[in-house]
Amino acid sequence: MTPRLAALRPRAAGFFAFRAKAGQEGLLRAAAEAFRRRGWRVLCVPALRAALGPLASAREPAALARDSSLLVSLGGDGTLLGAAVLGAPRRRPVLGINLGGLGYITAAAPEAVAGGGLEGLLDGACRIEVRRMARAEVLRGGRRVLRCEALNDVVLARPQVGRIALMRARVGGAFLAQFRADGLVFSTPTGSTAYNLSVGGPLVEPAAPVLVLSLISPHTLSNRPLVLPDDRVLEIEPGGDMELAVDGRRPAAVRAGDKVRLSRSPLDARLVFAPGHDPWAVLRGKLGWQGAPSADHRA
């Protein structure tokens, strides 16, 4: 059965952003009014309270995910990543309205709010894609000191610019290699268009059951990105102090002697798109690939 946002219960939309962007108040209010006209209650994080005024009730992020049946991300891809991680434990779908730059994984451009695209999603059918997430754990002295989830990627790198890192890697308990590089990127298929792409990693179909390991400026030219089945656990032992960043969020310190365990998360993100969403068309547009489907093209 084709999903419909109108079927979600309760009809409560949680507007999420890290901060309110100057000059976007009118767009935010128009989006809130589109929901309210259809009987939705609009909630928002405190950062959007002033912009939305009486149109929304403020909630802290955890309460927003609890009380909403749909999260609405208002920003760029980074904002959507935050909303997806927030909503994943409660299986909340996330609708992204792009107010940022690239917008690889947001569903609607700003003009869709005024042009009827948002209302079309609210009134008609939609596509909800389940996306794999990654998990990062830091073990210190055999005790877990950090665990976090990522929709895009986990980055492990040296804090000092110009200093090479030594990393011993094991996959599924078996020794893989000892890497010398500036760091590594552990990416989901969704995150293959992010940092992974900029360090020479492969582009991956969003539904592919894999995870990707790409090195950042490896010292040995024969080191190449690895595509691993998503049931494998990658364990990294850094030879010195490093930093771990998840989906671009503020990095956490990793010490020499720690173990960093990277794996598929048991959580999944749910992203809302229009029924005809084509990720390859998005790539063609964002990356400037040439060509267009011919009129007589057959899949």
- Name the percent of the chain lying above pLDDT 70: 97
At 224, list the tokens.
Answer: 């190449």
196 and 215: one domain? yes
Question: What one-letter code names the amino acid at 257?
Answer: G
Q: Is 42 in contact with 36 (CB distance < 8 Å)?
A: yes
- What pTM did the predictor assign? 0.92
- Catalytic, out of 67, 77, 123, 296: 77
Tens of pLDDT, residue by residue over 114-124, are 778 899 899 99
CA atoms 109, 114, 120, 123: torsion sign: positive
Residue 299 inside a domain? The answer is: no
Determine the Cα–Cα distance for residues 81 and 62; give it in Å rounded to an integer. Answer: 15
67 a catalytic residue: no
- 182, part of any domain: yes
Average pLDDT over residues 15-41: 94
CA distance 71 to 86: 9
Q: 174 with 77, same domain?
A: no
Q: Are residues 140 and 260 in the same domain?
A: yes
Distance CA 287, CA 193 (A): 10
* Structural domain of 207: 133-267
In a domain, 79, yes or no: yes
The CATH number covering residue 69 comes to 3.40.50.10330
Question: Does residue 228 belong to any structural domain of this protein?
Answer: yes
Residue 295 within a domain: no
- Where residue 166 sits, what CATH number does that domain have? 2.60.200.30
Number of domains in the chain: 2
pLDDT in tens, 144-167: 999 999 999 999 999 887 789 999
Direct distance between the N- and C-terminal alpha carbons of the chain, in angstroms, rounded to an integer: 23
86 in the same domain as 53: yes
